[in-house]
Structure 1
């Protein structure tokens, strides 16, 4: 059996995939692994002590550092902070063939029918509001079947593969290797999983951004 390799998001070394922890939850799978290797995770979890002196000149006392731009590792070396810059947004994919979103109309019950397929090819159906349906069509995540129905273009796995291949596994925020998907406008603030709202991100930037918008996240680094 051929050994599968993966590039660590922290040390950028190519290591066997067994050196990476498995993901859990919906993203778990045989080939689903986290971005940092085991050795880098051990360093990050090591006690990070900074020797400080108080203003009165009392003996130096160790304190545990919180998350900061520079992390003091057990070997005494510093991890330089990531340099995040505002980059141009990726170009949208070609517009799928079909009617424009302006033809959509809600049914008598007041919703738009939405259908698609799972990763295993099984069909699914649900109902959504007109505003969401229009956004999905305009941002190239769905096509209009008729004035009451839209169809999602991507499955979960095919969408992930598309975004990573489009961005060439390059983090949109720092330019380093990335293998996760991040929403520019978080779903908690009304964003949707569409090609125009999702970019490739490294694990650190993805976790640091959390529920911040793009302007809020990049604004933190500019301060």
Structure 2
């Protein structure tokens, strides 16, 4: 097709009027041809941009314009104009609610698969994330091992190295069972029986007590 056979006008997708090609923007996609044009003419494009700018100001709390010289309208299937709010395809922007309390585990809402996203950092400061079930996420928050970021995400507070240093410092390097010097960490409720590595479930212990207790309950170990 030569330049003389190219169409000199195009129908606007919004106002349905035939206008010269100079009123339309060129398409820049890889598959677009040299004379390809976008669907909105220059006048309709200005109306859309003005309507979007006014709506953003209203959402942010800024006062709306007192008089709109050219209110934004959308065209129906028959070419009739109607206000944008009456357009069934238009949806109002959804505002985010307030952030939940970092210690409020009841604010967590699982995904469709029943999972919660957990974030954290390694000993070298590298970030990681994984999905865990809701029950585990609630336990970690209640036992002060994690905090709530939003209703679908929690953040682990300690890396492995930081957690060990925190427990030993908190207990002053004193064994929870015998009162002697301790430099290891033991779980009050063993992990083999459902315990987790949290500040509320871990204590400082000496090497002998740690190995002797193994996977016993505290009452069982102390009463022997």
TM band (smaller chain): 0.5 to 0.7
Q: Does 1:208 align with 2:212?
A: yes
Give the Cα–Cα distance (whole angstroms) in 1 for the partners of residues 103 and 112 of structure 2. 21
How many residues are treated as equivalent by the alignment?
124
Deviations 1:78-121 (A, max 9, x none): xxxxxxxxxxxxxxxxxxx6250000111012111111000000
CA distance in 2 between counterparts of 1:142 and 1:99 reads 8
**Aligned-residue offset at 1:192:** 0.5
Is 2:103–2:141's contact at 8 Å kept on the other side of the alignment? no
Q: Which runs of 5+ in 1 are unaligned?
A: 1-96
Aligned-residue CA RMSD (Å): 1.0
Measured in 2, the distance between the counterparts of 1:99 and 1:159 equals: 19
Unpaired runs of 5+ residues, structure 2, are: 1-100
Q: TM-score, normalised by structure 1?
A: 0.54
Runs of 4+ residues over 2 Å off in structure 1: none
Which of 106, 126, 130 in structure 2 is aligned with 1:126? 130
**Structure number with bigger Rg:** 2
3-state DSSP of counterpart to 2:203: strand
Which of 178, 181, 184 is 1:180 aligned to?
184
Q: Distance in 2 between matches of 1:146 and 1:138?
A: 15
Contact 2:117 2:131 (C-alpha < 8 Å) held by counterparts: yes
Using the alignment, how far apart are the partners of 1:99 and 1:213 within structure 2? 28
C-alpha distance in 2, partners of 1:145/1:162? Answer: 22
User: Does structure 1 residue 194 correspond to structure 2 residue 198?
Assistant: yes
Q: Quick one: distance in 2 between partners of 1:155 and 1:168? A: 20
Structure 1 Cα separation of the partners of residues 136 and 216 of structure 2:
21
> 1:164 deviation in Å?
0.3
- Cα deviation for residue 216 of structure 1 reads 1.3
Q: Which has the higher contact order (CA 8 A, sep 6+)?
A: 1
Query: Matched residues in 2 for 1:181 and 1:99: separation?
Result: 25
What is residue 160 of structure 2 aligned with on the other side?
156
Alpha-carbon distance in structure 2 between the residues aligned to 1:124 and 1:216: 37
